[in-house]
Amino acid sequence: MIQLIKTSNYSSLIQDFLEHLFVERGLSNNTISSYKSDLEQFKEFLVSNKTILFTEVSQENISQFVKNFDYLDYKKATKSRKLATLKSFYAYLHNEYLIPSDPTQNFTLNSKFVRLPKIFEVSEVTILLDAPLKINTGHVAIRDHAILQIAYAAGLRVSEIINLSLGDVDFTSNSVRVFGKGSKERVIPIHDLAVDSLNDYVQKSRPLMVKSIKNKTFFSNQKGQRFSRQGIWKIVKKYSQHVGLVKGFTPHTLRHCFATHLLNGGAPLRHVQTLLGHSSIATTQIYTHLTKEFVRDEYDLSHPRSQKNI
């Protein structure tokens, strides 16, 4: 049974969400400031209404907040943006198991607010993965190379990367075990290049960073501690800038590329859903919109008048 996390700290929840937007979604500072402003406004609304907690908000509370937009004479675009903020915020809280259900799920947005993630070509990702060892051959570069490799090879979330422990990587079966959202366990196969980079790190770099045999943290900073989300983001930013992938490349971009490139290579959507740890196939389907090759292949295989089916 999944245990919900309870908190009454408005500021803490907002800050965690804003950090998620910055690190995992790669949004700009201006966009994040808009999210923050909208959430602060919503917080003030809740406080003025008997201080209802973020985690106790109902659909009725959302409806009342939205109705106030008319009294404030907001333009349609402003109304939609503020509602989009709430929907993103509560989707995050729900995905993090801070709330049992999403109170905004029945509120709809204009399609222009639906943003598809940016996907980079395989050749571009390959250049990024090779960057650390082309810049340096020291123990930090070996570690950074392993982090980038596993992020792309297994499509891991940032939180899954930083929470990896030594026993989670199986060098015999070439697989990695991760505990995703809601502590759901999944085992993901990884290719030989990724396994080699992980083994290289464990043998050569990790012993120089982690001094205690009791410390089972897989990826460690130079103080022997687990990374923060910001720490992983800085590594990806460093090498993406070095190879010229300046705009919009975040740790989560490697997860997006992992999914899209698998679909391009012919992997079934259901298999990709399992590898990503998505509870709903609808979440995975976003990647089918990112590749013309996938749509063409699905059409050719499915349509009765396609040349492949005649």
Which residue is associated with the tokens 């259900």? 101
Q: What torsion, rounded to 10 degrees, do the Cα atoms 285, 286, 287, 290 define?
A: 130
Residues carrying an active site annotation: 157, 181, 252, 255, 278, 287
**Tokens in use for 246?**
């300046």
pLDDT digits (tens, 9 = 90+) for 124-162: 999 999 999 999 989 999 999 999 999 999 999 998 999
Contact criterion met (CB below 8 Å) for 308 and 301: yes
DSSP state of 211: -
pLDDT at position 148: 97
- Between CA 6 and CA 55 the distance in angstroms is 8
Q: Please name which of 267, 299, 297, 245 lies closest in space to residue 121, comparing C-alpha atoms.
A: 245
Q: What percent of the chain has pLDDT over 90?
A: 44
Is pLDDT above 60 for 8? no
Indicate the range of 47-56, 148-157, 163-172, 301-310 predicted with least confidence: 301-310
**Better-scored residue on pLDDT, 27 or 181:** 27
pLDDT digits (tens, 9 = 90+) for 102-124: 888 878 765 444 456 778 999 99
Q: What percent of the chain has pLDDT over 70?
A: 86
Is pLDDT above 50 for 78? yes
pLDDT at position 176: 96
pLDDT at position 118: 79
Domain ranges of the chain: 10-113, 122-251
Q: What is the mean predicted confidence (pLDDT) over 31-55?
A: 85
- Between CA 133 and CA 286 the distance in angstroms is 33
Contact criterion met (CB below 8 Å) for 179 and 160: yes
pLDDT at position 291: 67
Q: What is the mean predicted confidence (pLDDT) over 174-187?
A: 86
Radius of gyration of the chain, Cα coordinates, nearest whole angstrom: 22
pLDDT digits (tens, 9 = 90+) for 232-265: 999 999 999 999 987 778 888 999 999 999 998 8
What is the overall mean pLDDT for the chain?
84
Is pLDDT above 60 for 163? yes
Level-2 CATH architecture, domain 10-113: Orthogonal Bundle (1.10)
pLDDT at position 112: 43
Q: What is the mean predicted confidence (pLDDT) over 193-203?
A: 96
Indicate the range of 180-184, 216-220, 305-309 predicted with least confidence: 305-309
**Better-scored residue on pLDDT, 166 or 68:** 166
CATH of 122-251, one of 1.25.40.10, 3.40.50.150, 1.10.443.10, 1.10.630.10: 1.10.443.10
Count CB-CB contacts under 10 A for residue 252: 21
